[in-house]
């Protein structure tokens, strides 16, 4: 049964408020990342420059908010084919600059 106008059982959450579980999950995930930042840094440095850039791009999705699109197509993969134009040494220079 959908929510009906005039429902007297309960008002529900206010518009825009977060679910308590969502807040808890985000908080715990943030703590997990903060507690393992040195290991994450070491793991990223152990990757090849190409894989490191791919990993950073994937991780950025959790940090940088994405813009909403009115008409969007679902793309389950990240297209990083533009990286193929660079050599490993070029990518290393970009990462270290």
CB 50 within 8 A of CB 95: no
Q: Which domain holds residue 88?
A: 48-64+84-97
The confidence score (pLDDT) of residue 45 equals: 93
Is this model's pTM higher than 0.95 or not? no
pLDDT tens digits for 4-62? 676 667 666 777 777 778 788 888 888 988 999 999 999 999 999 999 999 988 888 87
Cβ neighbours around 12 below 10 Å, total: 9
The pLDDT assigned to 52 comes to 93
Length of the chain equals 97
Going by pLDDT thresholds of 50, 70 and 90, the confidence category of residue 75 is low
Q: What is the pLDDT of residue 78?
A: 72
- 3 in any annotated domain: no
Question: What is the model's pLDDT at position 49?
Answer: 92
Residues 89 and 60 in one domain: yes
How confident is the model at residue 11, as a pLDDT?
66
What confidence score (pLDDT) does residue 44 get? Answer: 92
Residue 52 placed within a domain: yes
Total structural domains within the chain? 2
> Which H, E and C letters describe 55-89, residue by residue?
HHHHHHCCCCCCCCCCCCCCCCCCCCHHHHHCCHH
Helices 20-35 and 37-46 sit at what angle, rounded to 10 degrees?
60
């Amino acid at each position: 049964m959908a929510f009906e106008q005039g429902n007297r059982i309960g008002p529900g959450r206010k518009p825009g408020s977060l679910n308590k579980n969502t807040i808890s999950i985000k908080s715990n995930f943030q703590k997990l990342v903060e507690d393992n930042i040195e290991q994450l840094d070491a793991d990223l440095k152990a990757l090849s420059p190409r894989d490191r850039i791919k990993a950073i791009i994937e991780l950025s999705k959790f940090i940088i908010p994405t813009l909403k699109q009115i008409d969007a197509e679902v793309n389950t993969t990240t297209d990083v084919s533009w990286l193929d134009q660079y050599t490993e040494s070029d990518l290393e220079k970009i990462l270290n600059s």
